[in-house]
Amino acid sequence: MSESKKRCRQYSVDYLKFGFIPSLPDKQSPMCLLCNKVLGNDAMKPSKLQDHLRRCHPDKTEKDLKYFQTLKDKFQKRPTLDRMFASTSQRSDDGLRAS
């Protein structure tokens, strides 16, 4: 018996039209912008991504690429712990220099 090769798919920017971006910890896995669910590599077929959009978010199936691009921009600009703590640590360092 020969083993079938397991294909490791790569994220494509075309997946944004289905509402998916690369996940933060693993850039090869798709993450839904609407529910933040990370799907496995086997679900990275466009038909499966479209199926997720249709089943889980039926009200968003008619949205265009611009809508998902706006969601992506908001997601990337959201406040994170790293950004919040980075700004507070800079302020406390300035206070130490003055005294």
Answer whether residue 74 shows pLDDT above 80.
yes
Per-residue pLDDT at 23 exceeds 80: yes
Classify residue 47: in a domain, yes or no.
yes
Which residue segment(s) compose the domain that 49 sits in? 1-65
Domains in the chain, number: 1
What does the mean pLDDT of the chain come to?
82
pLDDT value for 68: 94
CB contact set of 53 (below 8 Å; sequence gap of 6+): 18, 19, 32, 60, 61
Q: What's the rounded mean pLDDT across residues 13-17?
A: 90
Domain membership flag for residue 45: yes
Greater pLDDT, 93 or 61: 61
Token pair listed for 15: 């997946």
**pLDDT higher than 60, residue 52:** yes
Instruction: Compute the distance between CA of residue 30 and CA of residue 15 in angstroms, rounded to an integer.
Output: 8
Record the pTM.
0.72
